[in-house]
Amino acid sequence: MRIKILVSKTSPASTVMGLYENLQLALINSRQTGEIKLVSFDGSEVSDGNRFRLIPDESVAQALACETIDAFIIAPLGPIPEGGLSFDSELLSAIVEIGERSNIVSSVCTGAFLLAASGLIHEREVSTHWLFEELFREAYPLVKLRSENLVVEDGKYLSSGGAMAYQDMSLRLIERLFGRKLSLKCAKLLMLTPDRVSQSEFADYQRFKRHGDDKISDCQNWIECHFQMPIDVVALAKTACLSERHFKRRFKAATGDSPSQYWQRVRIDKAKRSLELSSKAVETIGLESGYEDTQFFRKLFKRHTGLTPNEYRKRYAQ
């Protein structure tokens, strides 16, 4: 069993070591022989900026000496700057070559930016940290972003959402490498909840406002002030002095959402805040969020967050 984790100078040490230890636990319990190696571009140690140093086992060139790799994992890159990132062409070529000879290729959190830059996942589905969703869409329009999901699988390519979603990724990797039974055993040993689906419960809609289109920003502000009103895209287009067709296209280009989807997103976010800060009945919160049908509100809330309103309140009430 050969597993390789690619680290960079901005990779959080806690995530890298958490991945390593979870996979090592699975390897030991599988009673298989194998190795888990940390890899950096040139084999030199990297520091995450928080006093912690990671000492790789090998360079990318040495990793290329392996004819087959069971799992190749790209660790997080840390926060992504507003202008995006540029990558060394030699590194990207090496990732393509390693990816082609790997049975599983995965990225964790913002590691998806590096995986996407390699071109390996064009036209494929991927997840990353919800905070950098718009930056990712802008940089890699050929990749199908599914940032609402904690883990996305597309053939041999796996990717996870942000931060602690590496735990979910490690369980999914263990299942793919060693089987479902061992994955569940490791989940119990590590006291992790298996098969979590969504990272939407952690996200907020403010990330959809970093696009620079003032006219669409004005429309978003209007929606946020009038979210309780019935959804009326035609009226909103007139407010923006645009044709309905042009408005829908421009809104989607700026936010990644249709106007109706964004309207629903704002309503659900308002409901989340009410559940966190008040003891109002779910029915009341639904009405205040623009939903007269409580059952519809409950279903929509769960679709957006992965939790029922009551489950969300128990977890996040202040």
DSSP state of 194: T
Please name each of the domains of the chain with its CATH number.
2-201 (3.40.50.880), 204-316 (1.10.10.60)
Span 173-213, pLDDT tens digits: 999 999 999 999 999 999 999 988 888 778 776 777 778 89
The C-alpha angle with vertex 123 and arms to 104 and 136, in degrees rounded to 5, equals: 90
Percent of the chain with pLDDT over 90: 79
Q: Residue 121 pLDDT > 80, yes or no?
A: yes
**pLDDT at residue 249 in the model:** 94
Backbone angles phi, psi at 312, to 5 degrees: -65, -45
Tens digits of residue pLDDT in 49-67: 778 899 999 999 999 999 9
Angle formed at CA 161 by CA 8 and CA 112, multiple of 5 degrees: 45
Handedness of CA 210, 211, 212, 218 (dihedral sign): negative
The larger pLDDT score, comparing residue 113 to residue 221, is at 113
Binning pLDDT at 50, 70 and 90, where does residue 83 land? confident
Rg of the chain on CA atoms, in Å: 22
- HEC string for 197-245: CECHHHCCHHHHHCCCCHHHHHHHHHHHHCCCCCCCHHHHHHHCCCCHH
Please give the structure tokens belonging to residue 22. Answer: 């979870």
Return the amino acid letter for 119. Answer: G
CA distance 205 to 116: 24
Note the pLDDT of residue 205. Answer: 67
**pLDDT-derived band at 245, boundaries 50, 70, 90:** very high
- Rounded CA gap, 211 and 223, in Å? 17
In the predicted model, what is the mean pLDDT of the chain? 93
